[in-house]
A = this chain, B = another copy of it.
Amino acid sequence: MHKLLKTDGQARRGYFETGHGIFQTPNFMPVGTKASVKGIDCQRLREAGTEITLVNTYHLWLRPGPELIQELGGIHKFASWGGPILSDSGGFQVFSLNSLRKLEEAGVTFSSHLDGTKMFLSPEKSIEIQEMLGVDIAMAFDECPPGDLPHDKVKQSLELTYRWAERSVAARKVPEKTKLFGIAQGGIFKDLRTKAAEMVSSLPFDGYAIGGLSVGEKKEDMYDVLSYHPQQLPADKIRYVMGVGTPEDIVEAVNNGVDLFDCVMPTRSGRFGRAFISGDEPYINMRGSRFKKDLRPLDENCSCIACQRYSRAYIHHLFQVEEMLGPTMLSLHNVTFFLTHLAKIRAAIETGSFGSYYSLIKEQWRKVTLGKNK
């Protein structure tokens, strides 16, 4: 279902086919946690260049519930998004939002972060919910260990994740409608990542994801994992790095053969005043007083409404006076910026010039590391 069109070094240009149309790869999925990409309506989302979005199984399970979404015709109709939709398995939220939980072979028992209701999530339950939502791509249910877990604990976790992956595959009821991706974990340990890749690749998934990155580990450690791990996953299937990342992280991963990304960064950063831009600085904080009289757009190369119609001075003002148009405009801009970044990556691979685009982005972000552009 993932068709490769061209490669440029390890970077891959292709497309992936779903029941709701294809999406080009490499691509980025804006995150619509509760069936809404925060602050952006479905029409503006499409205008931003979105081809596929992600929803969170955990949140939709709690509210409004998969039964309701199914009854109302499925997630596409509910959220008024006609293109492909991927859901995560719910595992990440169970492990990150709920401190009171009990992990067993069967699954995880935890209390809802909303009202304390006792809940139980397992591979079978997760797949059932995701298929009820009617997403195009579901994720296998895995344990998401914290970034600082020691080697032996990560190893144990891997083995559980493998058994859960087998159960996730077995639990599928509508494989023709909802594709299923497996997830390789393994922390920052090369031997465990290698083992995880072998294990997950042995199962008949429609795509393979790398989990457990951008969960608190050092950037060098993440880049180290990216340097070998994607290549350990099947070359003929789509490769997806979950929850990553900055525009720099994305070129780094694409440079190592990754095809798909998701991250809350564009919308979350936008709500807090950060705008990603092209040029010398990779991002600017619009709360800064240096923008008070800046009549330039956020990014003169951007086609979003915020850049076409408003000045930095005005957007600075919106944040100063706490007008909600500030967060919504920056969210829209950042999503547009990320998707434009991915479109440039695809164009670069097509023309065999990914290397120079990669260098350009690395150079732009190098200055951030040096601390010149806080």
Contacts and interface: CB of A to CB of B under 8 A. Distances in A.
Contacts of A68: 292-293, 313
Contact of A42 (B43, B78, B309): B309
Interface in A322-374: 323-325, 327-329
Contact of A325 (B38, B72, B293): B38
Interface string A286-328: 0000001101000000000110011101100110110111011
A309 B43 contact: yes
A41 B79 contact: no
A80 B325 contact: no
Interface string A195-215: 000000000000000000000
A72 B71 CA distance: 53
Copies held by the complex: 2
A282 B39 CA distance: 27
Given A79-B314, A309-B41, A63 B328 contact: no
Interface in A131-178: none
A94 B315 CA distance: 26
A36 interface: yes
A59 B325 CA distance: 16
Interface residues of A, number: 39
A34 interface: yes
A284 interface: no
A251 B240 CA distance: 57
Contact of A36 (B59, B80, B318): B318
A64 interface: yes
B38 A78 contact: no
Contacts of A241: none
Contacts of A327: 324
* In the complex, the 10 A-B pairs of residues with the closest C-beta atoms, listed nearest first: A80-B309, A34-B321, A36-B323, A36-B325, A39-B324, A64-B317, A63-B321, A42-B309, A80-B310, A43-B305
19 contacts: A34-B317, A36-B323, A38-B325, A39-B325, A41-B306, A41-B309, A42-B305, A42-B309, A63-B317, A63-B321, A64-B292, A68-B292, A68-B293, A71-B293, A72-B313, A73-B295, A78-B311, A80-B309, A80-B314
